[in-house]
Structures are given as C-alpha cells and as structure tokens.
Amino acid sequence: MKSRRFASRYRQNASKLHKRVGDILQAPGSPFRNFKIYQEYPVSRVNPEYHNNSHKFDWVILDLYLVIEAHGEQHYNPVAFGGMDYEEATECFLQQRHRDNSKMDAAVEAGFTYIVIPYHDYKLVDADYIWNLYQKCYNPNQVVDKKEQTEETEYQKYLRQRAREYRQELYRRRKQCLDKYKCRRQQDGFQDCRCQEDDPTSSDT
C-alpha cells in the first residue's frame, strides 16, 4: 500500500486500535487534526538509512516529527495466529520485537519522537492520551549523520540549531493549544481551570 495522507478508510485487516487512533487524530477539536497525517508511512522515508523498504510506521505526523505505533498483543507476547504452534508463535514474536526495536531506533536517530500505544490501553486512548505520550517522549534533537558530522560547516550548525528551536517552539505552542482544549472540555466541571496564554512577546514568524 502506498503511503498517503489520512483518509477515512483503512486496510481491511487494520486492527481496531489502528482505526481508533486514526479516528482520534482526525476528530473535531483534536490538536492533531490540522497537521499532515500519514498512515502506513515507509520507515525508509523517515530514515533513509533504514534497511527494509517494506517496513512501515502506523502513523506519522511530519509537521511534528512524530511517529505513532499501535501495538497489538503480538508485539508483547507470542500469539498463535492461523493455528500455528507455540514454537512458531515464539519465533514470530522474537522477529516482531527485533523489527519494532529497529523501527524505533530509525525514528529516534532521524530526530522523530516515537510513541507506542499498547493494545491494553484501547479504552483509555483519546486525544489527551496521545498528546501526553508525545509530551513525555518528545525528542528535541535533530541528529546529524555521523558520516557528515566531521565535515559540518558553521552554517549547517546554525541551520540545525534553528530547526531544533523551531520544533521546540512548535511543541510549546501545541501544548498551549491542548491546555485550552482541555479547559473547554472541563469548563463545566472545573471552575478553577486555568489556560496558558500565548506569550505576547513571542513572534508568529
């Protein structure tokens, strides 16, 4: 399947958790709704050094440098799909764990924030849940290719620093947006709810 912008359709065999995450990302009022959201996005497009062009991330939000993976039980325990025996299930599980770790390393090395939503949290998943994971796992560093690191110019260092500052500022603003979103949801139940106001000295450019 080609990577594409999110659409209200899923693979026939997409898990309930995958669909739930997609629905939440695009729900009215979601802090992620207005960003570029891709499903089944190739790992090698996030990190060109990745060894397998067929491996994909469940969800990628390029504007936020965010990878979201929805992990079913087979990512945590051997599961006998299709009548396979325990030995086969264990082998598949070990391969799955190795693939998961490789994909995570690829995302982090490329400067992306990588978060995992486990199957047992299905009923807990909402926009707040995903945003809190993003905040907890936020990766502020844009990694420079080690092969080019020794040849990095002062201008390249400047651009890398500006990119890092931009992403940190974007994270701050999205957090403020979520705080306001929470306040709107809770205003009937919490009279002492306080929203962070935008810094009047900050620049929109």
Pick from 29-33, 126-130, 131-135, 198-202: least confident: 198-202
User: What does the block give as tokens for 90?
Assistant: 């264990």
User: What does the block give as tokens for 55?
Assistant: 């491996």
Burial of 106 by CB count in 10 Å (0-12 exposed, 13-18 middle, 19+ buried)? Answer: buried
pLDDT in tens, 77-94: 998 877 788 888 899 999
pLDDT at residue 199 above 50?
Answer: no
pTM of the predicted protein model: 0.66
Kindly calculate the radius of gyration of the chain based on its CA atoms and give it in whole angstroms.
Answer: 19
3-state SS of 143-192?
A: CCCHHHHCCCCHHHHHHHHHHHHHHHHHHHHHHHHHHHHHHHHHCCCCCC
Mean pLDDT, all residues of the chain: 80
